[in-house]
Chain A
């Protein structure tokens, strides 16, 4: 639970992350994801409730928790006064890691994140994707038991995103526990073992991506342009449909049947498409289509 004055940013959410899993927080802007992450990192004190990380209370054991956490913040906060390599060394020092050990890990992490060539380059001269990779390397410098990533691929081009996903998956394969926030639904679907969708500070649903899609969207989506005939036909059939702009969406487990019916009434007036349901469908149904600023 987190209050800022009258605003309840995180409203009595309950969740449990299992060891070795990738757990995602999804939600529109302002849903409370980042605040929740900061509470887990022990840097934003909670206004109420209980929050334990590694079985320790965030209020009283902050230092011990933080020494076992790796944090990738949403905003890049690499140290612009130093090179990539020295960023890692200096960060290791905050954890009290001895110099020789820090040098070894920094070298390994630069290699893992494919930044070896940029070792002595000042952070400001790195591309967006490289900065993001370096910040993940930095988060790993203390060999954390839990890695928290707040929008790990925000603002990156597709190549850079894929490289980061690849690295995160290999961390996952090594048995690391990851908690991430994202509003890229493909990212969540790709990476997360389990996830929650948050809005207005609350958790709306929780589960594995595939289960959530099955439960809340069905296997497929039939889409057709919004025409009177199509609406009439769907009402006649007693089928539930959603309106997404000018498109009618039917979430269903029997897509062919419905597509057939719609094709009959629409003929050539409107295109009917059938596609598998995605997490995005679940998300939009749960969080609504209204724009969040």
Chain B
């Protein structure tokens, strides 16, 4: 069904090498973002909020910051950046002239998107530790889970990239899907403040809801049976979007 061998690594490595070549600029967001959000929202706005469900506000939003960073880095890597490589740089065309298959190119791109999410989560962790807003050692789990969550967002992103007519049209999913998710996935206020139908909608259709739910359990070291449901949702959606992305990309690129 999919033609993937260990050659997928060479695609992943190409992106890793490019990332390292410009590492200075790439390493800024995961350090700066959590500091800005924690100061502005956690300790600024947060002074008006005593606690959310008994949790201090900065501690409440810390796992959301990691989740959002993973979402953004994986999603934008596999939309705008992948589109540039595919359409403008013709990098995919160059690679499929070698024994690397188109399936491996797309899989490698998505695995790289997931890796990028994981790198960002890893770099954010020490900052959050310094602020004292995450529990240890459970918060080490943020790192492997970021890979899975990253793969989910990379898969969704790659589906959009496969069907987008132009790079500008990628703004639609960015504004209509990613931005609402950023706000309404239990990130900065608990999901149960929303009307019930919207809560169900968030659980059914907004992947970030599940990611935030698991990351919050991790950083608070307080797991619940609900997290298993979250994990099952994420695992299933990841497989579906991964395979769908490959299929859509084949349709676009194999002519």
Interface residues of A (CB under 8 A from B): 4, 41, 43-45, 62-64, 66-67, 69, 71, 73, 75-82, 86, 90-91, 93-96, 142
Contact = CB atoms under 8 A, between A and B. Distances in A.
Contact of B93 (A62, A77, A86): A77
Interface string B204-247: 00000000000000000000000000000000000000000000
Nearest to A142: B98
B28 to A, nearest CB: 18
B94 A78 contact: yes
Q: Which 9 pairs between the two chains have the least Cβ-Cβ distance?
A: A77-B90, A94-B98, A77-B94, A71-B97, A81-B18, A67-B99, A93-B10, A63-B99, A66-B99
B89 A79 contact: yes
Contacts of B11: 94
A138 to B, nearest CB: 8
Given A94-B95, A94-B98, 8 more contacts: A41-B97, A44-B254, A44-B255, A66-B98, A77-B93, A90-B17, A91-B98, A96-B99
A62 B3 CA distance: 12
A79 B94 contact: yes
Contacts of A66: 97-99
Given A78-B94, A79-B89, A96 B17 contact: no
Nearest to B100: A94
B208 to A, nearest CB: 30
A66 B98 CA distance: 5
B122 interface: no
A84 to B, nearest CB: 14
B21 interface: yes
B89 A77 contact: yes
A96 B6 CA distance: 10
If over half of B's interface residues share one DSSP class (helix, strand or loop), that class is named, otherwise mixed; here it is helix
Contact of B89 (A80, A93, A95, A142): A80
B10 A96 contact: yes
Contacts of A82: 17-18, 21
A71 to B, nearest CB: 4
B13 interface: yes
A234 B70 CA distance: 80
B94 A91 contact: yes
B252 interface: no
Contacts of A77: 89-91, 93-94
A77 B84 CA distance: 12
Nearest to B17: A90
Interface string B92-111: 01111111110000000000
B251 interface: no
A94 B97 CA distance: 9
Nearest to A72: B97
A95 B95 CA distance: 10
Interface string B11-32: 1011001100100000000000
8 contacts: A4-B255, A43-B254, A45-B254, A66-B98, A73-B93, A77-B89, A91-B94, A94-B95
Contacts of B90: 73, 75-77
Contact of A69 (B18, B93, B97): B97
B14 A90 contact: yes
Nearest to B97: A71
A69 to B, nearest CB: 7
Nearest to A65: B99
Contacts of B254: 43-45
Contacts of B93: 43, 73, 75, 77
Given A77-B93, A79-B94, A94 B99 contact: yes
A4 B14 CA distance: 33
A207 B158 CA distance: 47
A44 B91 CA distance: 17
Nearest to A90: B14
A83 to B, nearest CB: 9
A46 to B, nearest CB: 12
B108 to A, nearest CB: 10
Contacts of A43: 93, 96-97, 254
A95 B99 contact: yes
B97 A96 contact: no
Contacts of A44: 254-255
Contacts of B99: 63-64, 66-67, 94-96
Given A4-B255, A73-B93, A77-B93, A95 B98 contact: yes
B65 to A, nearest CB: 29
Contacts of A75: 90, 93
B7 A94 contact: yes
Contacts of B17: 81-82, 86, 90
A43 B90 CA distance: 14
